[in-house]
Structure 1
Amino acid sequence: MENKTLSALLTASKMTLAGIIACIFSFLVPWTYSFWAVISVAAVTRPGLTHTYLKAIARSAGTLIGAILAYLSFWLAGHNALILILCFFTIISLVSYLSLQRSFLSYCGIIIGITVIIILSSSAQYEPITTIILHRIIDVLVGILAILLVNILLRFFFQKNEPVKENLKMEFLSNFELLFNWYENKYLIKTAIAIGFTASLTFLPWLYLKYPGGFWVTVCCLFIMEENIINVKEKIWLRFLAHVLAAAIGAISAFLIGTHQWLTLIPLSMTFFFCGYIMVTSDVYGKAANTLAIAVCIMLLSGSSEGTSLTITASRFINTIIGLGLGFFSTWLFISRKAPPPHLLEEHEHLR
């Protein structure tokens, strides 16, 4: 029990310290989306060095690949929305196939998809796509460097008995080989196409109407949809709880803090510490810790220098709820399954 409590406190401390570093960076840097550095901390933090390191690698690789694919889509489509949505459907279907793998490749696939969505949605609001891509990559790398630096320093001062995982190369090669086993994974292809179709249907209206935060519906579908409806229900429930709590934190902060940007460090730090702690101490709600931290980042920081906004909080919450509903309906309609196939029943580390 003492070891678990110490691990929880260390995870909470490293998440909080790295979050503060990334948050200060986001306040000092003048571009619009610098808060993605803080989101990177919220996303990749896990107990222990190995899990954090793996998610950091996957997020870095996914961001770079996603940025390239987003740029190619933008270049091919020009101002033609039909070509853009066809490129979008193809990319999301392919990366969904990757994200459905029960391995650390899964998280990389999700990040590729999210990066494409974020960059295309930002460029659709008339910001230069090359600038958006450059800022996105820098923000992600700053956040990752912050959490890895704090992680290594804490591990240096607080030696843990948890060993660094070995044979990562063998595990990667094994997972990569399974990725191209089309016969074993044929049911995943259908699932991936369904996810791509749903994501495209939710993204297309936003391209034309540009309603506030509408692309978060697409992001939500990408996160929750998979081949197993039982897992989808669990993801929906945990994501719903996380966003209810995040919306409450965002609303309270909007009333108490308003436009005082630097004061957002207080609720953000408290949230990060709480998330880092339950990540270790709760087997059930710990699964939603990263989701809660990310949601709070967006609600508190995406208003930039204007401070915390009720409008942003409401927009994120409403679009997430819509995404949960559409994601569940699409899963039930197209790809509902009660259990994964036998070859995926063995325990793989799943970092979604």
Structure 2
Amino acid sequence: MKSNTLSALLTAIKMTLAGIIACIFSFVIPWPYGFWAVITVAAVTRPGLTHTSLKSIARGVGTLIGAILAYLSVLIAGNNILILILCFFIIISLSSYLSLQRTFISYFGIIVGITVIIILSINNKSEPIITIITHRVLDVFAGILAILLVNALLRLFFQKKEPIKKNLTVEFVSNLELLFNWSKNKYLTKTALAIGLTSSLTFLPWLYFKYPGGYWVTICCLFIMEENLINVKEKIWLRFIAHVLAAMIGTISALLIGKHLWLTLIPVSITFFFCGYLMVINTVYGKAANTLAIAVCIMLLTDPLEGISFKIIAMRFINTVIGLGIGFVSTWFFISRNTTPPHLLEQNIKLR
């Protein structure tokens, strides 16, 4: 119990310190998407120094590859939305196949997909896609640098408190072999295609009509859909609870802080500490800790010049709820499976 509490405190401190560093970076550097650095800290922080490092590496590599794929999609499609959505379907299906693996490859896959969605959702004629990609990559790596810096400092003082995972090379090779074993992965292939189709069908209307925050519907579907309906239901519940709490935090912060940018450090720091502690101390709701931290970052930091916006809070919450509904219906219709396929029964950690 004492060890568990210490690990929870270390994770909370790690997440909070790295979050503050990333926040200061986003406030000082006059970039339009600096808050991506803070979101990166919120996303990759995990209990254990090794797991945080693995997620950081996966996010960095996934961001680079996703950015390249987004650029190639725009280059190939030009102004043709149908060709763009075809490229989108292929990329999301492939990245979803990776994200469905029960290994640390999973997080890499989902980051590739999310990066493509975010870059394509921001892409417009007033800002070159290369500029958007540059901001995305630099901001993500700034967040990674912040969390790895704090991670390294904690390792100096608590290197025996959070053990380093062994045999990562052996595990990676065995997982890579399973990745290309199509006969064992037929369930995942079908699921990945369903996720690609659902994501494309939700993203296509947004490309045409550009309704506020509509791409969050697609991102939500990408996060919650998998081959097991029971797990999808749990993800929906946890994601909903996380966004209810985030909306409450955002609303209270908007009323008390408004446009005072530096004061947003207070709710962000409190949220990060709570989430870091929760992900260790509670095995059920701790799964939603990263989601809660990310949602709070988006609601509080998306528009630093205008301050905390009720509009952004509402857009994020409403589109997330819509995405949860569509993701559930699509899972039930296309890939409803209440039991886990035999080859996925191994108790591997899924860093998703």
TM-score by length of 1: 0.98
SS, match of residue 127 in structure 2: coil
1:124: how far off? 3.7
**Distance in 1, Cα, partners of 2:69 & 2:124:** 15
1:122: how far off? 0.5
Q: Tell me if structure 1 keeps the 8 A contact 2:232–2:328.
A: yes
**Distance in 1, Cα, partners of 2:281 & 2:81:** 47
Tell me what 2:253 maps to. 253
**CA RMSD after TM alignment:** 0.9
1:186: how far off? 1.1
Q: Tell me if structure 1 keeps the 8 A contact 2:7–2:162.
A: no
Q: Tell me if structure 1 keeps the 8 A contact 2:44–2:52.
A: yes
1:226-305 equivalence runs, <5 A: 226-305=226-305
Tell me what 1:102 maps to. 102
After superposition, the C-alpha distances for 1:235-272 in whole angstroms (9 at most, x for unaligned) are 00000000000000011111111111111000000000
SS, match of residue 195 in structure 1: helix
Q: Tell me if structure 2 keeps the 8 A contact 1:238–1:285.
A: yes
Tell me what 1:42 maps to. 42
Q: Tell me if structure 1 keeps the 8 A contact 2:8–2:277.
A: yes
**Distance in 2, Cα, partners of 1:77 & 1:162:** 47
Letter in 2 for 1:37: A
1:135-284 equivalence runs, <5 A: 135-284=135-284
1:308 paired to 2:316: no
1:341: how far off? 1.4
**Distance in 1, Cα, partners of 2:92 & 2:339:** 23
**Distance in 1, Cα, partners of 2:165 & 2:2:** 22
1:157: how far off? 2.1
**Distance in 2, Cα, partners of 1:125 & 1:160:** 52
1:220: how far off? 0.2
After superposition, the C-alpha distances for 1:186-240 in whole angstroms (9 at most, x for unaligned) are 1211111110000001001111111111100000000000000000000000000
**Distance in 1, Cα, partners of 2:331 & 2:90:** 19
Letter in 1 for 2:50: T
1:175: how far off? 0.6
Q: Tell me if structure 2 keeps the 8 A contact 1:229–1:336.
A: yes
**Distance in 2, Cα, partners of 1:280 & 1:350:** 15
1:110: how far off? 0.3
Q: Tell me if structure 2 keeps the 8 A contact 1:124–1:207.
A: no
1:4 paired to 2:32: no
TM-score by length of 2: 0.98
1:151: how far off? 1.3
**Distance in 1, Cα, partners of 2:343 & 2:189:** 16
Letter in 2 for 1:29: I
What is the aligned residue count? 352
Call closer, same or farther: CA 1:232–1:61 in 2, change over 3 Å.
same
1:125: how far off? 6.8
1:18-57 equivalence runs, <5 A: 18-57=18-57
After superposition, the C-alpha distances for 1:167-198 in whole angstroms (9 at most, x for unaligned) are 10110111111000011101211111110000
1:154: how far off? 1.8
Unpaired stretches in structure 1, ≥5 consecutive residues: none
Letter in 2 for 1:340: T
Identity rate of aligned residues, in percent? 76
1:342: how far off? 1.1
**Distance in 1, Cα, partners of 2:199 & 2:129:** 21
1:343 paired to 2:340: no
1:32: how far off? 1.1
Unpaired stretches in structure 2, ≥5 consecutive residues: none
**Distance in 2, Cα, partners of 1:230 & 1:262:** 42
**Distance in 1, Cα, partners of 2:330 & 2:125:** 28
**Distance in 2, Cα, partners of 1:89 & 1:159:** 43
Call closer, same or farther: CA 1:125–1:297 in 2, change over 3 Å.
farther
Q: Tell me if structure 1 keeps the 8 A contact 2:14–2:151.
A: yes
1:307-326 equivalence runs, <5 A: 307-326=307-326
